[in-house]
Amino acid sequence: MSADGLRERIGFYFDDLTTPMGKLVDIIVLLLIFTACITYMLSTYEVSPDARSFLDLIELVVGILFTIEYLLRLWTAGNRIRHVLKIYSLIDLVAILPLFITLSNLQFLRIFRVFRIFRLLRFLEDSNFFFGKITENKLIVVRIIFTISAIVFTCSALILTAEKDSNPNINTFMDAFYFTTVTLTTVGFGDIIPLTQLGRALTLLTIVSGILFIPWQVGSLVKKLISSSEKIKIICKKCGLKYHDTDAVHCKHCGEIIYQEIDGE
C-alpha cells in the first residue's frame, strides 16, 4: 500500500463509526480519556511509592498514545494549518502537554491533565455513535450530562490546585469535588470555604459556568420537546426520520415523498 493510501485509510478510521476498526479506534480513545481522568483523581491521594510509580507509568503511556493519535490526525489532515486551528485539535494539543511533565521540571503543566475530559466533545458532535445512532433528544440529554460533569470535574481540579497548600479542608479531589458540587447546586453548607484569592475566583467561575451553560443546554432540550409535540409520527421509508410537520408532503431530512392523511381529503 502506498503512503497516500495508508494516510487515507488511517484518516478514514478516525472519522468512521460503522466499520469494526473505526469503532475500535473510538473505543480505545474513550478508554484512554476515562483512564486519564481516573488516574488524575487517584494521583491526588497519598499512596505508596509503588502505587505512585504505577500511576506515573499509566500517565506516561496515556500521554504517549495521545501524542501518537494527535500526530496521526495531523498527518492525515488535508489542510494541516486549518486542522491545527480547529477546536478539537487545540483540545488534543492541550491533552498531550502533561506528557512533558515526566520529561522536564515544568510541574505547572500537570493541571492540563484535567482538560482531557473535553476530548469527549468530539463524540458529542452528532447523534452517530460507535454503538449506533441515537435520537436528537437523547443526544441533548447526553450533552447536558457531559456539561455538568465537565464543569464539576474541571472546577474541582482547579480549586484543588489553588487551595491544597493553604486550605486544610481541601486535600484531595473528593474534598474539592464535594465543595464544587455544593457550590454549583447553591446548597452552600459553609463547612468548606475557599481561603485563597485564586480559590475564590475559581468558585465564582464555577457558579457562573453553571448559570451560563446548564440552562442553555436544558433550554435546547425543552425547545426540542415542544417542537416534537407539534409533529406527527410518520416514518420516512428512505432515511427513517420519525416525526414530521402535520402538513408535510416531503421528508425535511432527505426530500422523500411521505404520505399522510390531511383533513378535507
Same domain, residue pair 143 and 50: no
pLDDT value of residue 264: 44
Same domain, residue pair 42 and 160: no
> What sign does the CA torsion over 11, 87, 39, 61 have?
positive
Q: Give residue-wise pLDDT tens across range 200-246.
A: 999 998 888 888 877 777 777 777 666 655 566 777 777 777 776 66
What span, in angstroms and rounded, lies between the C-alpha atoms of 242 and 262? 18
Q: Where does a domain end: 125, 160, 185?
A: 125
* Residue 215: CB atoms within 10 Å: 11
Same domain, residue pair 190 and 202: yes
Same domain, residue pair 69 and 81: yes
> Cell numbers 452552600 correspond to what residue?
188
Same domain, residue pair 198 and 244: no
Fill in the amino acid letter for 250: H
Same domain, residue pair 12 and 57: yes
C-alpha to C-alpha distances, 169 to 49, 62, 156, 157, nearest whole angstrom:
24, 31, 13, 15
Same domain, residue pair 141 and 216: yes
DSSP secondary structure string for all residues of 79-117? SHHHHHHSHHHHHHHHHHGGGGGTTSS-GGGGGGGGGGG
What span, in angstroms and rounded, lies between the C-alpha atoms of 111 and 211? 24
Fill in the amino acid letter for 222: V
Domain residues for the domain of 28 are 1-125
Q: Output phi, psi for 65, to 5 deg.
A: -65, -40
Would you call 93 exposed, middle or buried from its count of C-beta atoms within 10 A (0-12, 13-18, 19+)? middle
pLDDT value of residue 231: 66
Would you call 108 exposed, middle or buried from its count of C-beta atoms within 10 A (0-12, 13-18, 19+)? exposed
**188: confidence class by pLDDT, cuts 50, 70, 90:** low
Mean pLDDT of the 171-185 span: 90
Q: Where does a domain end: 125, 159, 187?
A: 125
**Least confident segment among 47-51, 55-59, 106-110, 256-260:** 106-110
**Cβ atoms of residues 234 and 251 within 8 Å:** no
Same domain, residue pair 94 and 179: no
pTM of this structure: 0.76
Q: Where does a domain end: 125, 157, 191?
A: 125
Q: What's the total number of domains in the chain?
A: 3
Same domain, residue pair 235 and 221: no
Q: Which residue has better confidence, 258 or 71?
A: 71
Same domain, residue pair 155 and 80: no
Read off the CATH number of the domain in which 152 is found: 1.10.287.70
Same domain, residue pair 120 and 3: yes
**Cβ atoms of residues 78 and 42 within 8 Å:** no
Fill in the amino acid letter for 228: S
Mean pLDDT of the 19-34 span: 88
What span, in angstroms and rounded, lies between the C-alpha atoms of 175 and 194? 12
Same domain, residue pair 147 and 203: yes
